[in-house]
Each structure stands twice: as C-alpha cells, then as structure tokens.
Structure 1
C-alpha cells in the first residue's frame, strides 16, 4: 500500500489479521473471531480433559506473534501459555502441572503459539519429564474461518466507514486504528517495519490466574 501511495494513488489501510500483530492499533479485524474459536475449542477440550483426567496441549496460530495464544490462554483458563515473544519456559510449565497434581488437580490445558514451539514437541518433552500421556490438538486453519463475531462485524463496519471518510477528506498513506473505544488514523510510516509488543501485564495476569 505504501508503494501505491508513492505512485500517487491515495490509499487508506484497514488492519485485518487473526494474529493481531499490526502495531498502532489495539485490535485487527478477525482477531476476536479467532480468539472465540480458540476459546470454544479449549472449553470443549477441557470437558474431555476433566472427564478423562488428561493434560492437553493446544497449538494456536501465531508464527511470529503470541497475541492470539495469549488471549486464548487467558480467556480459556490455560495453566500455561507459551508465546514466541518470551523464552519457552517448559520447566515452569512442568512445575505448574506437578503442583496442580499435588493439589489433586487431574486435568490441565497448555496453550502454545506455533512460533514458540510445536505442540507435539512440547507434549513429548512433558511426557518424558513427567511420565504421563499428553494429548495434542492443533487448531490450525480452523481459526481462520467461520462466522465472524458481532464484535468483528461491528469493527469492520466502523473501520470501513472511517477509511471511506478519510479518503473523501483527502487523507492517504494512513491506516485506520483502534485506540480504546475510538478510531483514529495512524501514518503508515509509524506502522511499517515495526514489531507490535506483547502486553506483559496480560501475560503476568495469565501467570497469576494459573497459580
């Protein structure tokens, strides 16, 4: 899009990715739908994990970003979350599982972003350390499809209208972004080539909730 703008074509961008890894905006279109899909899967797997006293590793998309895995893990009540932005702490994950078992907890969920580690590799290592069978579910492309949530539909409608208004007002080389509850225009120069940082407060919340 930046290249189009350089050639004199006026353009306004709208962020749309389930990874929610575009900087400058709180949310991207598709992220909420993917999170809800992931949480629904975790909820269903937890039913099985509870009734069969199992530990599940759930692998989400997110090759370079852990935004999706973190949101799914927190909302789904995962005991551990592994994301590419932070070193994979298998020692900590195993310690949590063992503490849970010592307290009589016989089921657990570990959410891992594909960019942090492969779900089957995580499961194999935990099995080796704990001597217990671990089940793996790779959500894969199911996260990219399905009916959009009401939040995503509303967000797409608002962003689309904002983009059209921006073009009509003469704006170009900008992106529509979410900031809190408001929409704003962000220069593309502030977005391109910039890595969106993970919210460490949310990650710490996940750690606290899993204690």
Structure 2
C-alpha cells in the first residue's frame, strides 16, 4: 500500500482533529502518502482533495470541529454516487480510506469496501450510539460541556429558587442526558429509551419542595421530549417558577477533553495499521481498553443503549 485517504463525515465531534492528526502522522511514519478529502462524501464526489504532509496537522490536536470539514451527501446514498466515489479514489491512486463518523458514514464506507476500496471506520459521534466498542469519539467532551452548563444554571436556579429544564442533544439516544444528569445531580433525567410520565416528574418536584428544596434541575434528551413544552407543563401543574435552556449545538464544539484526544489518537493510528494489514470493511475500536476491529455488519447489528442500572442510580440519588 502506498497511498491512503482520510475524511470526516456526518455530525462533527470533538476529537476528530486529533484522530486525523494520528492518521496522517502514523501513515507518514510508515512511508505512506496521505490525502485529505474535505466535506466528507460530498467532497469526494466533487474532487475536493488535498495532500496532507506532516505540517498539515500541526496545532490541531486541541481544536474542536474538523479541519477537513463535513457535509451531508444525499447523492452518495445512490449506487451511481457510490460508483463515482469509487472511481474518484481509484483515479487518485488511493488504496485505503479511513472514515471518521457514525452509522451513516460507516454505511457509505461499507459500500466503497464492497466496490474494492479498503475501508476502516472510526466511531466519532457525540451521541455515543455506535455499539460494539467501549466509547465513541466526542461523547466525553459533549457530556463535560453539558455538565459545565448544568453547574452554571444550578447557581442561578439556587439564587432565584427556580426549576430549570435543560434540553441536551440526543434524538434517538439518551447517553448525554443520562451521563450529564447523573454527574450534574439532576432531579429527573428523561431519555428516549425509558418511558416516563410528566405527572411523576411533577410529583417528585412537589415532594422535594415539601421537604424544603429550593430549586430543581430536569435534564431531557431532545428525543425524549420538547424542553419548552415540558417546562410549560411543570409550571402549569405546580405553579413553580420554571425556566428552560436548550443547549443545542454548543455541545458539538469546544476543545476535546483529554479522554477524547487519547481515544482519537489511539483509534486513528490503529486504523492506519489495520488498513496496511489488509483489513477492510471494519471499524477500529477499543474493547475493554484494548485495540481491536469489528466488521461493519456486526457494528450495524449492535445496539448501544443507556445502562438501566445507571438510570436507576440517577433516580435513587435524586430522591
């Protein structure tokens, strides 16, 4: 193998830059040429490709977002788009492709694998919903961002004796909400995976006020309910002064945590080693702390749901 490419696709995640840096430097260490594909699969189809020498990844390990940019690409969902992507790579002389992203990005990588390009995926999503591995790049940072916000909001909630509903990201996965809710001491955590009744949330708030509690925090994943509607329901049924904060895309940005930098560096380097060894159609991963790889088919079948035991613990500790 002489030449590989790297791209970032789907939603950006803190740590992607650390991963790209690891790919480029590991590949060059082993004598490979590296090109970067900007704007994901859209950039691949458009030929938006640049050489990536050592200096191209200097001073990026601490930066959030992705230096290669990212974009959605509906055309790549089609057979014609996938064939064009394959032809672009072969015209460039690219023999291996490393893709940072989530489920959709990996499905695109699998199509290129089936067409004959050696592909390795690297799990990168703040939602932490890619299974068959210990963790996804970006999750740790996103949780810390949410906790920082919760801590600040708790200060003003205490000062004004208010109830706050904090909506975090997670359309179909409640990992951020559960981790941030537990670490932030929330009174209730609402996630898509666990059914709930707002009457129970209200009853819990009222029990807290009855024993002298002056403020409360409710953390809700966006896929579990609309924060504004939940806030109105609470205020209407309790009379408590209630405010709503939607954290939104602030959770995607910011400098990656040390944990995300280390994870991304390990997985990026491992992805290069895998593709050099002829492995293809796999995801680079850690399991029980050890580096490994998992076939895409197994990744697609795997489910990562929030731990029920952790959910119960959050409920117990918020009594």
TM-score band w.r.t. shorter chain:
over 0.9
CA RMSD of aligned residues (A): 1.1
| TM-score under structure 1 length normalisation | 0.97
Contact 1:82 1:89 in 2 (8 A): no
Report the Cα distance in structure 2 between the residues aligned to 1:75 and 1:180, rounded to whole angstroms: 23
Q: 1:43-95 deviations in whole A, cap 9, x for unaligned? A: 00001111111110000010111011111101111110001111133122112
**1:65 alignment partner, one of 161, 164, 173:** 173
**1:47 alignment partner, one of 131, 135, 155:** 155
3-state SS of paired residue (1:203): helix
Q: Does 1:87 align with 2:195?
A: yes
Alignment of 1:59-208 (within 5 A): 59-192=167-300, 194-208=302-316
Contact 2:169 2:177 in 1 (8 A): yes
Report the Cα distance in structure 2 between the residues aligned to 1:58 and 1:45, rounded to whole angstroms: 9
3-state SS of paired residue (2:223): coil
| TM-score under structure 2 length normalisation | 0.65
Q: How many residues align?
A: 211
Report the Cα distance in structure 2 between the residues aligned to 1:171 and 1:54, rounded to whole angstroms: 55
Report the Cα distance in structure 2 between the residues aligned to 1:187 and 1:193, rounded to whole angstroms: 10
Q: Does 1:31 align with 2:150?
A: no
Report the Cα distance in structure 2 between the residues aligned to 1:179 and 1:43, rounded to whole angstroms: 32
Name which structure has the greater RCO, CA cutoff 8 Å, separation 6+.
1
Report the Cα distance in structure 2 between the residues aligned to 1:40 and 1:131, rounded to whole angstroms: 28
The Cα shift of 1:133 comes to 2.0
The Cα shift of 1:193 comes to 5.2
Contact 1:33 1:152 in 2 (8 A): yes
- Report the equivalent of 1:21: 129
Structure 1 runs of 4+ aligned residues shifted over 4 Å read: none
Q: Does 1:8 align with 2:116?
A: yes
Q: 1:93-120 deviations in whole A, cap 9, x for unaligned? A: 1121111111101111000000000100
Report the Cα distance in structure 2 between the residues aligned to 1:52 and 1:182, rounded to whole angstroms: 48
| Runs of 5+ unmatched residues, structure 1 | none
3-state SS of paired residue (2:136): coil
The Cα shift of 1:204 comes to 0.8
Report the Cα distance in structure 2 between the residues aligned to 1:188 and 1:93, rounded to whole angstroms: 40
The Cα shift of 1:194 comes to 4.3
